[in-house]
Chain A
Amino acid sequence: MTFELFLFYVFSAALLYAATMVITQRNSVHSALFLVLAFCCAAGVWLLAEAEFLAIVLILVYVGAVMVLFLFVVMMLDVDQASDRAGYMKYAPVGVLIAVVLAIELMLVVGPGNFGLDKFASPIPHAADYSNTKELGRVLYTVYMYPFELAAVILLVAIIAAIGLTLRKRPQTRYQDPAKQVQVKAADRVRIVKMATEKKWS
């Protein structure tokens, strides 16, 4: 077994373990942290597949930003865990049924019959001067130009929609206008009064 293969199994095992813990942990903060671990392991697997750019961006975007906001929300929520588990047995049969159907469907689509070295030859390692980032950029801005631009527009619409949904002016909220604050002169706020010095009281 080569060292790369060993690393692959380590990362994959950790990934599966973390992913299982995400859905079995009682504490939602623990679940979120295991999801972070799962992302890190996935990044490791991607690094082994010579996709450095995607691996680092996975850490940067998902671990560094998305999961931080996730944790932010989860930490603030005071989840009542007893009421969460109240209807557990009642819904269990339906849940199991859906899970079994999904599992069968997944097996049909991505089952072991579709993989293997005879289906996909193992990729040839690139030379040391190969830049994954440059290659990705070249493909993204030439071959996949339209899908890329479309994705950008959809994201922009999503941003505008999200802001539009949450932005509302409440009459009781008081806003500060930094421009006005900067323009304020001392004379607007303080009145200096000239007066004669008072005699010492005796």
Chain B
Amino acid sequence: MELLDSFLPHGLATVIWIVLKIVLIVLPLMVLVAYYTLAERKVIGFMQVRIGPNRVGPNGLGQPIADALKLMFKEIILPTKANKVLFLIAPLLTLGPALAAWAVFPFDAELVLADVNAGLLYILALTSVGVYGVIIAGWASNSKYALLGAVRSAAQIVSYEIAMGFAIVGVLVAAGSLNLGDIVRAQDGSLFHWFWLPLFPLLVIYFISGVAETNRAPFDVAEGESEIVAGFHVEYSGMTFAVFFLGEYANMILISALTALMFLGGWLSPFQGTFLEPVFAWVPGLVWLFLKTAIFAFLFLWFRATFPRYRYDQIMRLGWKVFIPITIVWIMVVGLAVVLELPWWFD
């Protein structure tokens, strides 16, 4: 920063510094997304007693790179009667919010691009904007399967957003702040000070709603390859399809990381308050955050290999009649606990 400031005008140096930070977040994220797809194929392979990809590089480690190259050099096909502009904007609208949400994400006590007061609200707003990619893609493709997928996804995402929002309200009542860093700091203490214990129902509901929001199995009716081919991205090929793919996986990682942040204490060490704390003091907070995120990222894959797809009316029933009432009741429980200053989370 000082180096840049010395030979550039002040404003420009700040902009370049921020752009550098953004690159530092986005590049590792993209690598993570690429290897998450490999992890998915490997994990599901093992669960189904297969080997998974093992041809490119040692143990198939070059597979994501091969896939990326293949997708990049494939032809992009524009359907004749498609709305060209919207057809090409749609994948960007999926990827954009998934990346922009990381701007307020604290990776460590100090490591955050924008320390925003209303960070949690910002992330909730951006994840809800992500649905436009799916809807616009479905409509602009001018294909009935794509439109059906888009309509299914729109109804599903709007329904689960409510449960998700209420779960987040529970967290912010417990933490007393919308700032993501402060939410982690409120869980400081030990493994049992983290919010997973007092907010357990909200943890379960938040994560399941997150799975539904990202259109992953068992809630992937928007793709539903057995009945509507591949749903909203039926007409997409090559790089445009790859951008959808990137967006979906970036969103999965984001939901996993957020769950780890709000309920498992983010960058806090799990050995806090025990005799092991000094032993593991050298481990950076980023590593703990990564490990906690990996738990939920693995659950995404486990779900996909285990559960059959929900029927549409069951999805709606689960969202509206089960999740929303539970979250409302639990918000009242948390509110009461905060008012009574229940030890040891809320004193």
Where the two chains meet, the residues of A that have a C-beta atom closer than 8 Å to any C-beta of B are: 3, 29, 33, 36, 52-53, 56-57, 59-60, 63-65, 68-69, 71-72, 75-76, 131-133, 176, 178
Contact = CB atoms under 8 A, between A and B. Distances in A.
A52 B118 contact: yes
A75 B135 contact: yes
Interface stretch (B154-162, B198-206, B288-296): B154-162
Given A57-B121, A69-B158, A75-B151, 19 more contacts: A29-B139, A33-B86, A52-B118, A53-B121, A56-B118, A56-B121, A57-B125, A64-B125, A64-B128, A64-B161, A68-B135, A75-B135, A75-B138, A75-B139, A132-B117, A132-B118, A133-B118, A133-B121, A133-B178
A199 B1 CA distance: 88
A52 B131 CA distance: 22
Interface in B119-147: 121-122, 124-126, 128-129, 131-132, 135-136, 138-139, 147
15 contacts: A36-B132, A56-B118, A56-B122, A59-B125, A60-B128, A63-B125, A63-B128, A64-B128, A68-B157, A69-B158, A71-B139, A71-B154, A75-B135, A132-B118, A133-B117
A33 B136 contact: yes
A176 B314 CA distance: 10
Contacts of B86: 33
A171 B161 CA distance: 33
B15 to A, nearest CB: 10
Contacts of B150: 75
Contacts of B117: 52, 131-133
A-B pairs, 7 with minimum CB distance: A64-B128, A60-B125, A59-B125, A56-B121, A131-B117, A72-B154, A56-B125
B155 A72 contact: yes
Nearest to A29: B139
Interface in B202-258: none
Interface of B: 11, 86, 116-118, 121-122, 124-126, 128-129, 131-132, 135-136, 138-139, 147, 150-151, 154-155, 157-158, 161, 178, 313, 317
A201 B131 CA distance: 62
Contacts of A65: 128, 158, 161
Contacts of A71: 135, 139, 154
B88 to A, nearest CB: 14
Nearest to B176: A134
Contacts of B158: 65, 68-69
Contacts of B131: 64, 68
Contacts of A3: 11
A146 to B, nearest CB: 21
Nearest to B151: A72
A72 B159 CA distance: 13
Most buried by B among A33, A36, A57, A60: A60
A60 B157 contact: no
Contacts of A176: 313
A106 to B, nearest CB: 31
A144 B161 CA distance: 28
B129 A59 contact: yes
A163 to B, nearest CB: 12
A65 B126 CA distance: 12
B331 to A, nearest CB: 15
Contact of B151 (A52, A63, A76, A133): A76
A92 B262 CA distance: 57
Contacts of A64: 125, 128-129, 131, 161
A29 to B, nearest CB: 6
Contacts of A76: 151
A68 B118 CA distance: 23
Nearest to A64: B128
B151 to A, nearest CB: 6
A29 B150 CA distance: 14
A4 to B, nearest CB: 12
Contact of B147 (A36, A52, A75, A131): A75
A8 to B, nearest CB: 17
A69 B86 CA distance: 18
Nearest to B165: A60
Contacts of B178: 133
Contacts of B155: 72
Contacts of A53: 118, 121
Contacts of B317: 178
Contacts of B161: 64-65
A100 B115 CA distance: 48
